[in-house]
């Protein structure tokens, strides 16, 4: 029996078009699922990226705050140290210079210090005194006329431009001296600095 156009059309529809349509529908469904999955993954990744960016920004901000606080503390410490150096050392040095430039006071201190040194060193070693070159005329006369008569041991006196006030004292030939000039300034500055800080910066946290 010959197939009619309707039979052919129905057969094509059943055997070709229907499977093709079903496959197309499946492809569309699969594509939609994949698209939805991609969108969901992109959204999740975007959320993760936003969260990571926010976390990183918070870390950077915290580190910046720490760095700024550290820089501020260091700046305050530097200002305090410069202020302390500008006040304490010059004041102490001015007072000590004034005392040691007083020839009567210097002579008295030398007598006391040399007497104590001779007690410790004995007479077998010569002591060496370094004095300011600018004071040679006055101090040399004093040493020659007065002190050598009182000296408890051998004594060598040198005048030098390396000292502007006070004196240095040591055992001759050793090359090491006790510094009774700038050394006194440093010692008294170290002594006065904590007291300066406690009064000038009173009430401040460290």
Domain made up of 93-197: CATH architecture: 2-Layer Sandwich (3.30)
Would you say the C-alpha torsion 4, 7, 13, 16 has a positive or negative sign? negative
pLDDT value at residue 172: 80
The Cα 42–Cα 35 span in angstroms is 10
How far is it, in rounded angstroms, from Cα 93 to Cα 78? 22
- CB of 127 within 8 A of CB of 118? yes
Question: For 20-56, how does the pLDDT look when each residue is reduced to its tens digit (9 = 90+)?
Answer: 667 667 777 777 777 667 767 777 776 777 777 777 7
Q: Is the pTM of this model over 0.85?
A: no
Distance CA 198, CA 206 (A): 11
Domain residue ranges of the chain, discontinuous segments joined by +: 1-75, 93-197
**103-144 confidence digits (pLDDT tens):** 888 888 888 887 787 776 656 677 888 999 988 888 887 776
Sign of CA dihedral 46, 47, 48, 50: positive
pLDDT of residue 4: 53
Going by pLDDT thresholds of 50, 70 and 90, the confidence category of residue 153 is low
Record the tokens describing residue 32, joined without a space: 């939609």
């Amino acid at each position: 029996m010959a197939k009619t156009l309707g039979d052919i059309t129905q057969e094509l529809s059943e055997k070709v078009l229907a499977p093709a349509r079903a496959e197309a529908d499946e492809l569309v469904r699969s594509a939609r699922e994949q698209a939805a999955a991609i969108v969901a993954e992109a959204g999740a990744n975007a959320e993760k990226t936003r969260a990571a960016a926010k976390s990183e920004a918070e870390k950077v901000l915290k580190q910046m705050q720490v760095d700024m606080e550290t820089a501020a503390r260091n700046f305050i410490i530097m200002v305090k140290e410069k202020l302390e150096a500008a006040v304490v050392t010059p004041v102490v040095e001015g007072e000590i210079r004034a005392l040691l430039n007083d020839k009567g006071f210097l002579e008295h201190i030398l007598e006391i210090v040399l007497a104590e040194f001779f007690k410790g060193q004995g007479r077998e070693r010569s002591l060496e005194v370094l004095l300011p070159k600018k004071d040679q005329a006055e101090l040399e006369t004093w040493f020659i006329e007065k002190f050598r008569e009182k000296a408890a041991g051998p004594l060598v006196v040198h005048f030098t431009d390396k000292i502007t006030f006070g004196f240095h004292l040591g055992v001759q030939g050793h090359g090491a001296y006790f510094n009774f000039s700038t050394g006194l300034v440093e010692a008294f500055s170290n002594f006065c600095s904590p007291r300066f800080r406690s009064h000038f910066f009173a009430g401040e946290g460290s």
